[in-house]
Amino acid sequence: MVSHTLTGHSGKVMAAKFLGEPTKVVTGSHDRTLKIWDLRSKACVETKFAGSICNDLVTWDGSGATIISGHFDQRLRFWDARTECGSNGVLLQGKVTSLDISKDGKYLLACTRDDSLKLLDLRMNQVVTTFAAENFRVVCDWARAAFSADGRHVAAGSADGSLLVWAVATGKLEHTLQEHGSNGVTAVSFHPHGSFMASVDKKRKAVIWTDL
């Protein structure tokens, strides 16, 4: 196994994604920058100055040419990995804690500190659905929400220890799952080829869900 140590950020690194090829990686940090790395030279080849803490990022389209980052200042920013160009993007209603992109590349899921999930249609860069519930409280600035493998559901954990699952088509809450006690759920992830789901909480407990 070959490992790489990439040094250059001055703050916590919150996200790292491959840029459509195995030799390039983009990272987002609390130092308010995104950095693109060449793994062959183990060097930073470009720094993008976002002006706000980056809590998560995703790459869009098969070549990874577009980077979408979510920030403390409530903005989604769109970047062209091939140029220095960026945009102020979309302003949401709370600090962005996580991003996930649907398999078909049409929709972006953003978790925000106004205690909701936002579904954006990337063809219009507009919010088309907001997912919320009376007991849903985002637990921290790095809480992770996710699409299901088939894109029909989204899920996120709450500060009260529950795990909530909404239907994308209707925006309605379908399941409220309890297995974490009162420990805030910080992240959720779906198996890429099935209905299994994993969740983790602040007390270091992981749960695998098999009957969704």
Residue 85 shares a structural domain with residue 127: no
Q: Which CATH number do you get for residue 76? A: 2.40.10.480
Token digits for 69? 């980052």
Token digits for 147? 């699409």
pLDDT (0 to 100) of residue 26: 95
- DSSP class of residue 184? P
Residue 68 shares a structural domain with residue 46: yes
Residue 61 shares a structural domain with residue 98: no
Alpha carbon distances (Å) from 81 to 63, 100, 117, 155, 171: 10, 18, 26, 29, 33
pLDDT under 70: residue ranges of the chain: 1-2, 62-64, 84-86, 88, 212
Alpha carbon distances (Å) from 192 to 22, 176, 197, 211: 19, 22, 9, 16
Q: Tokens 């195995």 — which residue?
A: 22
Domain extent at residue 195: 94-212
CA–CA dist 76, 57 (Å, integer): 9
Residue 185 shares a structural domain with residue 118: yes
Residue 166 shares a structural domain with residue 64: no
152-179: pLDDT as tens digits: 999 999 999 999 999 999 999 999 999 9
Which amino acid belongs to residue 125?
N
Residue 108 shares a structural domain with residue 39: no
Last-in-domain residue among 91, 117, 146: 91
pLDDT (0 to 100) of residue 20: 81
Residue 26 shares a structural domain with residue 108: no
CA–CA dist 42, 23 (Å, integer): 9
Residue 99 shares a structural domain with residue 55: no
Residue 79 shares a structural domain with residue 173: no
Residue 207 shares a structural domain with residue 109: yes
pLDDT (0 to 100) of residue 169: 95
CA–CA dist 210, 204 (Å, integer): 20
Residue 79 shares a structural domain with residue 119: no
pLDDT (0 to 100) of residue 79: 93
pLDDT (0 to 100) of residue 3: 76
pLDDT (0 to 100) of residue 98: 98
Last-in-domain residue among 57, 91, 125: 91
Residue 115 shares a structural domain with residue 74: no
Q: Which CATH number do you get for residue 131? A: 2.130.10.10
Total domain count for the chain?
A: 2
